[in-house]
Amino acid sequence: MPRTRTTSTIAATLALLGATLAAAAAPAGAAPATHATTTLTTTACPTGWGSKEKVSRTSTSTPVRNIRTGRHACFDRMVVDLPGAGRSGLGYQVRYVDRLYQDGSGRAIPVGGGAVLEVRVAAPAYDPDTGAPTYPGRAGRPLPGVDLTGYRTFRDTRFAGSFEGETQIGLGVRARLPFRVLPLTDRIVIDVAHTWSGRS
């Protein structure tokens, strides 16, 4: 009798295990098999900016207070903040140069990257009445507080100084890429595209 019970117990266990495995292997009607798929998406980016010089001949005595950068899907961005200036007084000159030369001294300032954009803002980086600095940049040094880690286009920034009411900045980029300049209320925006193709 004990042998019969053991044999019966083993047989029942094997039958239960077989049923469990069969149920796990059978596809469930309510949960069809799924397959991992990879979808490549691209972002349509603005085009037609070109790489030629962009200029606005207006100027303001409202000083530069801050310079910051940001990353976007289609471009890297630099923003020069002039709080209180108003859009009508924002002048600039942005162009590719072979080397960045400091106004006044003529000293060459090295800027890293495959190409260099010279950014001139027609506003001082000091208080016109007192001469006290309004922006903490130091000539020849990277822009304070700007970290370009992980940027696709920007490679380096250099503050060239402020001379006779104009503030000069060197922006090192990966290559000579298209860019645009947007004078907005109280700030100037410089966007440099990641590519020429209009795709992110």
What value does the mean pLDDT take over residues 51-73? 96
Q: Is the pLDDT of residue 54 over 60?
A: yes
Q: Is the pLDDT of residue 32 over 60?
A: no
Higher pLDDT residue, 25 or 123? 123
Cβ–Cβ < 8 Å for 183, 90: yes
pTM confidence score: 0.78
Band (pLDDT 50/70/90 cuts) for residue 17 is: very low
Band (pLDDT 50/70/90 cuts) for residue 44 is: confident
What value does the mean pLDDT take over residues 18-22? 44
Cβ–Cβ < 8 Å for 122, 92: yes
pLDDT of residue 199: 75
Tell me how far CA of residue 186 lies from CA of 12, 128, 131, 154, 165, in angstroms: 82, 17, 21, 23, 17
pLDDT of residue 28: 41
pLDDT of residue 41: 59
Tell me how far CA of residue 103 lies from CA of 79, 118, 133, in angstroms: 21, 11, 17
| 3-state secondary structure at position 133 | strand
pLDDT of residue 26: 42
Task: Of 63, 47, 83, give the one whose Cα is nearest residue 194.
Answer: 47
* CATH numbers and ranges of domains, the chain: 54-193 (2.60.40.3500)
Q: Is the pLDDT of residue 86 over 70?
A: yes
pLDDT of residue 47: 86
Structure tokens at 133: 């600095």
pLDDT of residue 6: 47
